[in-house]
Chains A and B, each alone.
Chain A
Amino acid sequence: MKKMLVVLLVVVAAGAGVAYYLWNKPHVNLTNAKSDIAVDAATLLEEYQRDEAASNEKYFDKVIAVKGNVTEVMNDEGTVKVSLETGDANGFVVRCELSATAPHTRTEFAVGETVQFKGTCSGLNFDVQLDNCVEVR
């Protein structure tokens, strides 16, 4: 009887532990993540514009390292969005939204400088959107 109680307690404690862990599960942090694919901004947008479905197959929710020249940096009420040049005729870009929770060595970038970000690809919405971005240095 005592044994059963102990087992029951352990099970309950473990369950509570798992629940607690899941509830407080941290947000995606790509600082130490290995990227699945490396690509330059121009190629990424061009592929998406050519075939959105196929590109989602290839890139969606994957960790992508994307390189390009900064065309615009925007701080939108605390959310930093960096646009990477693609050469697109309509001015569409690869937009990298910096992670709100991962640590950053910097959140300011100069227009024209070449940078590389790691981020998860969320798809095409005029621009190609990457979320959870951290800079690759």
Chain B
Amino acid sequence: MKKIVLLFVVLAATTTLSAQNYFTRDGKVKLDATSSTSPEKIEALTKTASCVLDASTGKIQWAVLLKSFKFEQALMEEHFNENYVESNKFPKATFAGQITNLNEVNLAKDGTYNAVVSGKMTLHGVTKDITANGALNVSGGKIRVNAGFSLILPDYGITIPSLVSDKVTRDARILIDATLEPMK
């Protein structure tokens, strides 16, 4: 009896180990908060977003350090960190969710798949449910993720001062481009 229990424990452990995780720490996230009336672009890019995807369950997690966003204008970068996202208090934005149409996605087979991801986005100390559509391109054992969605900044307690409301939109556009590789 003990042997059988042990066998099950070993089996369970091996199954967990073989569940394939995909990972990157070089994900690109672009933030575009340019309002339609703005003469200049309010946008920033980070190339160090992390993502972990569990291929067997479709669970997916993202994290990005707000301080790693680069703006063309140093002043904008400063305002973003100090007045908008308050990165000293909330250094990280995270998303934890789930591919909801995993049955339509075959991560073991090369191809491009539409994916719908739902989960919880945490930014500026506020957590909200979001859903985003994206494309997963599986090729040669790697998964490229492209997705775009909107974040309503005031929903996350980020207020746009009326002085700049003609430049900075409340409805920021987020674009993601990341290539995940099997985790060793």
Contact = CB atoms under 8 A, between A and B. Distances in A.
A120 B184 contact: no
Contacts of B184: 91
Interface stretch (A9-17, A19-27, A30-38, A39-47): A19-27
Interface in B24-41: 25-26
B25 A126 contact: yes
B47 A95 contact: no
Interface residues of B, number: 23
Interface residues of A, number: 26
Interface stretch (B7-15, B70-78, B95-103): B70-78
B47 A79 contact: yes
Interface string A118-137: 00101101110101000000
Contacts of B64: 125
13 contacts: A22-B75, A60-B67, A60-B91, A61-B88, A74-B26, A81-B47, A97-B47, A122-B67, A122-B68, A123-B67, A127-B25, A129-B68, A131-B67
A125 B25 contact: yes
A23 B67 CA distance: 20
B48 A125 contact: yes
A81 to B, nearest CB: 7
Given A25-B73, A81-B48, A123-B91, 6 more contacts: A60-B91, A95-B48, A122-B91, A125-B48, A125-B50, A129-B68
A99 to B, nearest CB: 10
A56 interface: yes
A129 B73 CA distance: 21
A24 to B, nearest CB: 8
Contacts, number: 62
Interface in B57-112: 63-68, 70, 73-75, 77-78, 87-88, 91-92
Contacts of B49: 125
A126 to B, nearest CB: 5
A120 B67 contact: yes
A134 B93 CA distance: 26
A35 to B, nearest CB: 17
A133 to B, nearest CB: 12
A108 interface: no
B133 to A, nearest CB: 25
Minimum-distance CB pairs A-B, first 6: A122-B67, A123-B91, A122-B65, A27-B74, A25-B74, A123-B65
